[in-house]
Chain A
Amino acid sequence: MYQYIIRRFLIFIPMLIALSIIVFGLAKAAPGDPFSGKILDPEVGMEVYEKQRAELGLDKPVPVQYVRWASKIAQGSFGESITYKGRSVESLIKERFLNTVYLGLFALFITLIVALPIGIYSARRPYSLIDYGTTTFGFFGLAVPNFFFGLVVIYLFSIKLGWFPAQGTISSTKLTGIAEFKDRIHHLVLPGLTLGLASTASYMRYMRSEVMDVLGSDFIRTAKAKGMSANNVLYKHTLRNAMIPIITLLGMELGPLLGGAIITEQVFNFPGIGTLFIGSVINRDYPVVMAITLLLGVAILVGNLLADIFYSVVDPRIRYD
């Protein structure tokens, strides 16, 4: 098992190199650089901009620029942000990373506590009114875009009802302990719901079909024939099997969750990786854009590895060696 994990990590290296080449290539292929978007001050001569370009190494051939960039990353530095003069990319990301992690975890939490019970219920009473109702909600959840749903909940629960704040992560930096925790959760509710909507809808459907599948299997009939109670059959024999693919999917959720956060954070003006990413794209702050894209790639790779590890933990038939 440990050998397997180590081997998987080793495979990450060439994948990350490939990913970094693509990211860098795309960034270079995009027209313009940090200067071309700005209205240039006519008082400043062109040669000044040329000098600044040279300072950033933008006049060198692309492969040379890539090697410089990549070797710095290997030493743990993503360079300096162009928009935020003097700030390293790492410090910018670090500052916002935890916020996004909290948002993602909260969304996942909502997804699980809503989707799993509903999925189980629908599976036990397929084609009932509640099953049809949740199926409809499921399609709605998958069809409605994040940003639109976000605007609707802001309008309803923040502007009209005033129940939850529409932006930020905390009302006052003076809060501590339980009060701080409560306040943070309060701020997370609307963006969390928005970010979790699509996955709630799809997990509901997954859970429903998994539980229905398992309920129809031979070993469930055996458990019933043994005289096990209905609760034992459902909560022990059925759920343990139905959760296997769900837990695997959870690992894979890491990438999409970060990706979804980009839009959601924008709607809620939430100070996370997502808003940083959009802002950097608009300002052509390539060092930041490239770093975040790489981070997303790493998240997806790690997520897939986690999924495989979870899989072998919950399913005794799976052994890696």
Chain B
Amino acid sequence: MSSEPVLDVQKLKTYFYLDQNLVAKAVDDVSFSVYPGETVAIVGESGSGKSITALSIMQLINKPGRIVEGSIRVREKNLLDLKEKQMTTIRGNHIGMIFQEPMTALNPVFTIGNQLTEMIRKHKKVSKEIARNKATELLRVVGIPRPDAIMKEYPHQLSGGMRQRVMIAMAISCEPELIIADEPTTALDVTIQAQILDLLKDMQKRYNLAVLLITHDLGVVYEYTDRVIVMYGGQIVEQAPTKKLLSLTKHPYTNGLLSSLPNMEEDVERLGTIKGTVPAAYNFPAGCRFSTRCPAVMEKCRQINPPLLQLDADHFVRCHLYEDGGDE
């Protein structure tokens, strides 16, 4: 990990201004990096700010949301300094994105071929002919049978799994350095899920991509990722290499996530068997954001939100239990 990161996010804050004095701090002071070729997972319960983090990187936050602070560096450039027009040369070109809902993520009135080629032509400035050939080839690469025929078909003619393959073909079409996949398999049949994740893994090896994989599924984290970022209440609460995080878990929240898994084999789609519910992003408790649900809560926790502490070279945790340099 000595090389330059492909993505470096620092102190990112994305807030939603719901009305005069109601601000939802969906992402609040998030910093992390992704290095070439690695797969980083973001996990956390619903509403913890995973998707908003991803959309902030792409600068696809809609009103009333706004990136308030921070920097997002890709190739030495801070994306937050770019004009919207310059940003269109980053999206799809340097960062590809795959969404959760393959059923609605493709435009229903244009053919698959049209939607693939327009993107290739935008970024590669090639002729229609070359773009079509490349698109057909990509469909073949992502394992779509009869790619020539599928080019002329509309999204509704394909199954969910096939559509997600098309989305992956799109995401890799302009050879980006990074792919952000926001719960790419949550909406798919269990049998298809593994196929899609395996495909993603293949593509990653083949094109040496970095992948930021947002997921609810700790089984997926275990099997497919190198590093994990655990989010809660718009903040990172723990970050470590996957094996380390799963074996030397520090944060009470991460512990809760893990113990809510009866065993890795079972179908665990949604986390959230930790007692209580995630506080709303416009109504976080004072102090530690997990203090309303934490089994180890202390007096201090209700007053001061702990900073993200570095335990060793690659393990970070946000919890008062680990203050003063060690576990007491």
A225 and B84 within 8 A (CB): no
* Chain B residue nearest to A127 in the complex (CB): B63
CB distance from B159 to the nearest CB of A (A): 15
Residues of B within 8 A of A36 (CB): none
> Is B1 located at the chain interface by the 8 A CB criterion?
no
Q: In the bound complex, how far is the Cα of B109 from the Cα of A236, in angstroms?
A: 10
B93 and A218 within 8 A (CB): no
Mark A21-55 against chain B: 1 for CB-CB distance below 8 A, else 0.
00000000000000000000000000000000000
B119 and A221 within 8 A (CB): no
Q: Tell me which residues from 184 to 234 in chain A have a Cβ below 8 Å from any Cβ of chain B.
A: 216-219, 221-230, 232
Q: In the bound complex, how far is the Cα of B60 from the Cα of A88, in angstroms?
A: 66
Select which of A219, A225, A232, A314 is within 8 A of B60 by beta carbon: A225
Known: A218-B101, A222-B99, A227-B90. A315 touches B60 (CB 8 A): no
Q: In the bound complex, how far is the Cα of B92 from the Cα of A298, in angstroms?
A: 51
B106 and A225 within 8 A (CB): no
> Is B105 located at the chain interface by the 8 A CB criterion?
yes
* Chain A residue nearest to B87 in the complex (CB): A227
User: Interface on chain A toward B: helix, strand, loop, or mixed SS?
Assistant: helix
Q: In the bound complex, how far is the Cα of B88 from the Cα of A223, in angstroms?
A: 10
Residues of A within 8 A of B154 (CB): 316-317
> Is A237 located at the chain interface by the 8 A CB criterion?
yes
Most buried by B among A218, A237, A241, A317: A218
CB distance from A216 to the nearest CB of B (A): 8
Q: Tell me which residues from 47 to 70 in chain B have a Cβ below 8 Å from any Cβ of chain A.
A: 58, 60, 62
Residues of B within 8 A of A225 (CB): 58, 60, 91-92, 96-97, 99
> Is A244 located at the chain interface by the 8 A CB criterion?
yes
B85 and A229 within 8 A (CB): yes
> Is B33 located at the chain interface by the 8 A CB criterion?
no
CB distance from B53 to the nearest CB of A (A): 14
A226 and B90 within 8 A (CB): no
B118 and A222 within 8 A (CB): no
Known: A226-B170, A315-B109. A221 touches B99 (CB 8 A): yes
B156 and A317 within 8 A (CB): yes
> Is B133 located at the chain interface by the 8 A CB criterion?
no
Residues of B within 8 A of A216 (CB): 62
Mark B83-126 against chain A: 1 for CB-CB distance below 8 A, else 0.
01100111111001101010011111110000000110011000
A232 and B85 within 8 A (CB): no
> Is A240 located at the chain interface by the 8 A CB criterion?
yes
Q: Tell me which residues from 128 to 181 in chain B have a Cβ below 8 Å from any Cβ of chain A.
A: 154, 156, 167, 170, 174
Q: In the bound complex, how far is the Cα of B63 from the Cα of A216, in angstroms?
A: 11
CB distance from A126 to the nearest CB of B (A): 9
Q: In the bound complex, how far is the Cα of B101 from the Cα of A95, in angstroms?
A: 58
Q: In the bound complex, how far is the Cα of B122 from the Cα of A5, in angstroms?
A: 41
Select which of B99, B108, B167 is within 8 A of A315 by beta carbon: B108
A224 and B60 within 8 A (CB): yes
Q: In the bound complex, how far is the Cα of B41 from the Cα of A199, in angstroms?
A: 52
Residues of B within 8 A of A221 (CB): 60, 99, 105
CB distance from B105 to the nearest CB of A (A): 5
Most buried by B among A224, A232, A241, A244: A224
* Chain B residue nearest to A225 in the complex (CB): B97
A224 and B107 within 8 A (CB): no
Q: In the bound complex, how far is the Cα of B107 from the Cα of A240, in angstroms?
A: 10
Q: Tell me which residues from 302 to 321 in chain A have a Cβ below 8 Å from any Cβ of chain B.
A: 314-317
* Chain B residue nearest to A241 in the complex (CB): B109
* 21 residue pairs A–B, Cβ–Cβ below 8 Å: A217-B104, A218-B99, A218-B104, A219-B105, A219-B106, A221-B60, A223-B107, A224-B60, A225-B97, A226-B91, A226-B119, A227-B91, A227-B123, A228-B92, A228-B119, A232-B118, A240-B110, A241-B107, A316-B109, A317-B154, A317-B156
The 3 tightest CB contacts between A and B, nearest first, are: A227-B92, A227-B91, A218-B104
Q: Assuming A216-B62, A228-B122, A240-B107, what are 10 further A-B pairs, CB within 8 angstroms?
A: A218-B104, A218-B105, A221-B60, A222-B105, A223-B107, A226-B170, A241-B109, A315-B108, A316-B156, A317-B108
